[in-house]
A and B are shown apart, each in its own frame.
Chain A
Amino acid sequence: MNVILQVNELSKKFNDFQAVKNLSFTVNEGDVYGFLGQNGAGKSTTLRMLLKLIKPSSGEIIFSGKNIKEDDNAMLKQTGAIIERPDMYKYLSAYDNLYIFAKMSGIKTTRKVIMDQLEMVGLADRAQSKAKTYSQGMKQRLGIAIALVHSPKLIILDEPTNGLDPQGIADMRNLILRLCREMGKTVIVSSHLLSEIELIANRMIIIHKGEKVVEGDVATLLDPADTVVEINTTDNEGAFLKLQQTRWNEQTTKTKKNIRIRTNKNDVSQIISTLTSVGVNLLAVQPRHSLEDYFLSLTNNDTHVEPFTN
């Protein structure tokens, strides 16, 4: 697999605040690369550095084998982006917006090409309406069309599902998968939701306080063999003692809130049947991957969970 983007030791400091610290990661051609972190983790700052919106304090960004410092616009020519929300000239029509951004990207375009692109995002019938009259979902789709207007190799989407309704989120997810599978694009997508990344990305990175926590294949990082099952019963003390007499005794811990078993996801049904067979009244059983568990601990500032190690 060819590397399209390599980031080495990237850092950004705003006065005394270290937003990103020595961050390194690699994106391969054709990846849907998940960029995961809680709000304020440094995701947007990193993506903005890739797009030259923010100047890095140190580090290097290598795109298609070339350091972007050597060729200012090489990466931008091949990159489309939506940062935080879809941007457009709201007083112009969808057609005008696409035309303008195509020109700015330095490509010659025709009416047919623009209409085809609007067709792809389902806006062809509203091509001449001003963007300010669009719904949030339509604006999001127009934003995507603008990001794609110059046929970039790499697409950077910063929190693309923010503010969308469930249908909009599903549409966005499908669109990202189509971009990758049908059009061969490489997509970097950031989110603060692991579940979102899990559904669309093949590789991912988690960052926290500007630093990399973990990077790798989603399938490996979210291996079902590494699951934490959270159990709540009417009598957690009794249930915990009963679990001590099972094969999960060594993986079982008790917290103030619940009982936790680190095991394979496939064991969940067996755990439930074992507990019910010994008369435990179950209130809730929630299997969660240990990575998700760790990620939630960052988000909730829940200190009782051990840091994730892979």
Chain B
Amino acid sequence: MWSLLQIELYKISKRPRTYISFIAIAGIVLIIQAAFKADPGYLNILLQNVGDTFEVDKGKVINGYFMCYMILNTLLIQVPILVALVAGDAISGEANMGTLRLLLTKPISRTKIIGVKFLASVIYTVALLVFMALLALFLSMAIFGTNDLLVFRAKDTESQILQITQDDVMWRYIAAFAYAAVALTVIAALALFLSVFAENSIGPIVATVCIVIVCTIISNLNIPIIDRNVKPWLFTSYLVGWKGFFYIAIDEDNVPIKGSMENWPAIRNSLLILLAHIGVLFGGSIWFFKRKDILT
């Protein structure tokens, strides 16, 4: 299994499309960092929704932690597309090249083959997130320094600023990146599932992106009947659940409680729902792949 995984990762590393995602992430992060370094006033535009109800000291707000939070807010919506680029190609790309039939004539079970493909997609997703963390968090810390993290939040009809002391931030980022890894693994599992049925990469990649877009739009609709009956079943309703790690609990005197989270059960449930999605999609991929006649 390990040997097969090594081969799979080697093949991924040799494909130019693998690096598109890294280049895209680096480009976006560096542009945002450069823009804020050159003109901190840019913050006003980003805080239009909540910031105009507060007096904020830009010098204190903009620091490495805040930059990372903002970049994650921007990027984690786009990253699913980048994950689909590789996971959507996993089986269909092999079918398109003709190597799928060669692969399947080797003494390796189909379950193992798809398992390795899935693992490789997960590793790729984690690598993307680690790369993002290096740039968005550690590079931002190097450029902008560290301070307390102010999280601006629109809650129901109110606006809120949550202050997290700098010694209470890092674990939240680690947890948020881990959560994001699970969320993005759902996208990888979806793209892999669609890849089983296709004979070229474009189909599953485009289909994955379309599903993510449609589900995200539905997840953002504020219609009570959809809120109750549809949203709980959509994985996109949980993709931004990582923010929950930054919603710190507040005591009766409105003082943030260090090391706390406002709603851990909600985060835990979101994680379980995402894991269930991964299980169903990966299980479906195995089921269909084992029964597929290779006719190409």
Give the B-binding residues of A (Cβ under 8 A).
14, 48, 51-55, 72-73, 76-77, 79, 81, 83-85, 87-92, 96, 100-101, 103-106, 146
Q: Is the CB of B295 within 8 A of A54?
A: yes
A146 to B106, CA, bound (A): 11
Measured between beta carbons, the chain B residues less than 8 angstroms from A100 are: 7, 10-11
Q: Is the CB of A87 within 8 A of B15?
A: no
Give the A-binding residues of B (Cβ under 8 A).
3-4, 7, 10-11, 14-15, 97-99, 101-109, 291, 293-295
A79's closest neighbor in chain B, by CB? B105
**Known contacts A73-B107, A90-B97, A55 near B102 by CB under 8 Å:** no
Q: Is the CB of B294 within 8 A of A91?
A: no
**Known contacts A53-B101, A55-B293, A89 near B4 by CB under 8 Å:** no
Q: Is the CB of A52 within 8 A of B104?
A: yes
Measured between beta carbons, the chain A residues less than 8 angstroms from B295 are: 48, 54
User: Taking each of B3, B98, B106, B108, which has the highest tally of chain A beta carbons within 10 Å of its own beta carbon?
Assistant: B106
A55 to B101, CA, bound (A): 13
B7's closest neighbor in chain A, by CB? A100
**How far does the Cβ of A162 sit from chain B's closest Cβ, in whole Å?**
13
Q: Which of B4, B14, B294 lies in contact with A48, CB distance below 8 A?
A: B294
A96 to B98, CA, bound (A): 17
Q: Is the CB of B293 within 8 A of A104?
A: no
Measured between beta carbons, the chain B residues less than 8 angstroms from A85 are: 98
B100's closest neighbor in chain A, by CB? A87
Q: Is the CB of A92 within 8 A of B11?
A: yes
Measured between beta carbons, the chain A residues less than 8 angstroms from B102 are: 81, 83, 87-88, 101, 146
Given A14-B293, A87-B101, A91-B14; 18 other pairs, CB 8 A cutoff: A48-B293, A48-B294, A53-B294, A76-B105, A76-B106, A76-B107, A79-B105, A81-B102, A83-B102, A83-B105, A87-B102, A88-B102, A100-B10, A100-B11, A104-B4, A104-B7, A104-B103, A105-B106
User: Taking each of B98, B104, B105, B106, which has the highest tally of chain A beta carbons within 10 Å of its own beta carbon?
Assistant: B105
A87 to B96, CA, bound (A): 10
Sampled A-B contacts (29; CB under 8 Å):
A14-B293, A48-B101, A48-B294, A51-B104, A51-B105, A53-B101, A54-B293, A76-B105, A76-B107, A79-B105, A81-B102, A81-B105, A83-B101, A83-B105, A85-B98, A87-B97, A87-B98, A87-B102, A89-B14, A90-B97, A92-B14, A96-B10, A100-B10, A103-B4, A103-B7, A104-B4, A104-B106, A104-B108, A105-B106
Measured between beta carbons, the chain B residues less than 8 angstroms from A54 are: 293-295
A84's closest neighbor in chain B, by CB? B98
Measured between beta carbons, the chain B residues less than 8 angstroms from A89 are: 11, 14, 97, 99
Measured between beta carbons, the chain B residues less than 8 angstroms from A91 are: 14-15
A228 to B14, CA, bound (A): 57
Q: Is the CB of A87 within 8 A of B99?
A: yes
A146 to B98, CA, bound (A): 14
**How far does the Cβ of A86 sit from chain B's closest Cβ, in whole Å?**
8
A48 to B98, CA, bound (A): 13
**How far does the Cβ of B10 sit from chain A's closest Cβ, in whole Å?**
8
**How far does the Cβ of B12 sit from chain A's closest Cβ, in whole Å?**
11
- Give the 4 A-B residue pairs with the shortest CB-CB distance, closest first: A73-B107, A87-B98, A53-B294, A87-B102
**How far does the Cβ of A202 sit from chain B's closest Cβ, in whole Å?**
24
**How far does the Cβ of B252 sit from chain A's closest Cβ, in whole Å?**
62
A202 to B106, CA, bound (A): 28
Measured between beta carbons, the chain B residues less than 8 angstroms from A96 are: 10, 14
Measured between beta carbons, the chain A residues less than 8 angstroms from B108 are: 73, 104
